[in-house]
Structure formats: structure tokens, C-alpha cells
Amino acid sequence: GEDVEQSLFLSVREGDSSVINCTYTDSSSTYLYWYKQEPGAGLQLLTYIFSNMDMKQDQRLTVLLNKKDKHLSLRIADTQTGDSAIYFCADRGQGGKLIFGQGTELSVKP
Amino acid sequence: NAGVTQTPKFRILKIGQSMTLQCTQDMNHNYMYWYRQDPGMGLKLIYYSVGAGITDKGEVPNGYNVSRSTTEDFPLRLELAAPSQTSVYFCASTPDHLNQPQHFGDGTRLSIL
């Protein structure tokens, strides 16, 4: 079945760039999403990319999509302590259902 | 603008008890979803609904039931609570299944002891 994989942890220093990676298996993906989850909260949509795009930039966020390798990444420029959270990659699969990765816990050290 | 509202926020149940997790949205979204999130895991889809009167199973439906009598409400019922159902439950909604992102509630943290 469809699957989405992420590394579990990433630690960076404040001011550095963070790159969170994701791979997926569904060839029919139309949209791929990045969600942010802060402790004790629900999921907040950060950004998304349509499958016919290679890149999307939104302020400090850059999404790169390599459709051939089924690889998605989220780059956060000038990472701040407020960016510490769990980041989920999600693939909109067949029937519109979202398939989530396990989440990457980003820790930003001052 | 309330968005997706889940109640309760926390609950502790004894094994074998039943309860209903409430979810309501005020955005007139047709599609609604229930997920569970276990520690270190992503979200697993329990049930979803594409409109009032229509529900369908997701990836992990066993032990749960849902109903969708109105567009706004999508309650999730646990009939015989088991320790394996200890989790955080998220409800989400979206206008359609094409390109609109899902809006999430803040979650219900459920412990079965």
C-alpha cells in the first residue's frame, strides 16, 4: 500500500537552516503537504506543493519535490527556537485520503 | 471562526467502558476524518465521511464506530474500551477531496486503564 517515510529526529542550532526529508511511494500523488505540530496541539498546515511543481517558496519555507525519486523536502531558513515542533509530511493518495509519515521532531538549540 | 472543535480534550476510561468523542466543524465542509496518533507514529485514519449519511472505514477501524447525521458533526464511538485504544484522536475536515488541505481539531487525549 501507500507509504510515507521520514527520519524521526533533527537537531539544529538557532540561525542555521533545517532540512526535513520525506519519501513516498504513491505514483498517483496529486498534492503533498507539510504540517507542523506543537506540543499538545493539533496539526497546522504549513505549506503544500502540487505534484507538477519542483519547488515552492513561502517566506522562510522552501519545498523541493523530486517526483522521479518520490522525494520531498522542507527547508526552513534561519531556524528559530519557535520552530521546534514535529513536522509531518503527508501524501494525498487515492480517494483524497492523506497518508502521513511518522513525523520528524525538530529541536532548535540556542 | 471556530473551525474544527473536539470535545473532550482529555479523558480517562476504564477497560470495557464506552464513550463518544465529539467533533464539529462550522465551515460547511463535506469531508470529515478521524485519526489516531500513537507516540512516535504518524496519524492513522480510522474512519472518514464524504458527506452527511455516508461513512467509510479507514486504515484502523476495528473497535470504533461513527455516524454522520449532519454536515457539521462527526462523532466517534468506542463501545468497549481497550488499553490499545489509548491514543490522541484528531478530527479533520476539508471541503473536497481534490486539493484543499485538511483542517485539524486540537485533539482528544484518551487513556484506557
pLDDT tens-place string over residues B7-57: 999 999 999 999 999 999 999 999 999 999 998 778 999 999 999 999 999
Mean pLDDT of chain A: 91
Contact B32, B15 (CB under 8 A): no
- Give chain A positions within 8 Å (CB) of B104: 35, 42-44
Would the CB atoms of A102 and B45 count as touching at under 8 Å?
Answer: no
pLDDT at position B19: 96
Residue A26 has pLDDT above 90, yes or no: no
Point out the residue among A8, A95, A96 whose CB comes nearest to the CB of B40. Answer: A8
CA dihedral B90, B93, B96, B101 (to 10 degrees): -70
pLDDT at position B54: 95
Q: Which of the four pLDDT bands, split at 50, 70 and 90, describes residue A92?
A: confident
DSSP labels, A25-79: --TT--EEEEEEE-TTS-EEEEEEEETT-SEEEETTEEEEEETTTTEEEEEESS-
3-state class of B30 per DSSP?
A: coil
Point out the residue among B31, B90, B99 whose CB comes nearest to the CB of A43. Answer: B90
pLDDT at position B39: 80
pLDDT at position B99: 66
Euclidean distance between CA atoms B106 and B12, whole angstroms: 17
- Count of CB atoms within 10 A of residue A76's CB? 24
| Closest chain B residue by Cα to residue A30 | B99
What is the distance in angstroms between the Cα of A4 and the nearest Cα belonging to chain B?
9
pLDDT at position B97: 64
Q: What is the average per-residue pLDDT within A12-38?
A: 92
List residues in chain B touching A: CB distance below 8 A.
4, 31, 33, 35, 40-45, 48, 58, 90, 92, 94, 96-99, 101-107
Would the CB atoms of A100 and B42 count as touching at under 8 Å?
Answer: yes
What percentage of residues in chain B have a pLDDT greater than 90?
A: 82
Residue A29 has pLDDT above 80, yes or no: no
Q: Which of the four pLDDT bands, split at 50, 70 and 90, describes residue A95?
A: low
Residue A48 has pLDDT above 70, yes or no: yes
- Give chain B positions within 8 Å (CB) of A4: 42
Would the CB atoms of B45 and A98 count as touching at under 8 Å?
Answer: yes
Q: What is the average per-residue pLDDT within B72-91?
A: 96
Residue reference for cell 489509548: B86
pLDDT at position A94: 66
pLDDT digits (tens, 9 = 90+) for B32-44: 999 999 987 789 9
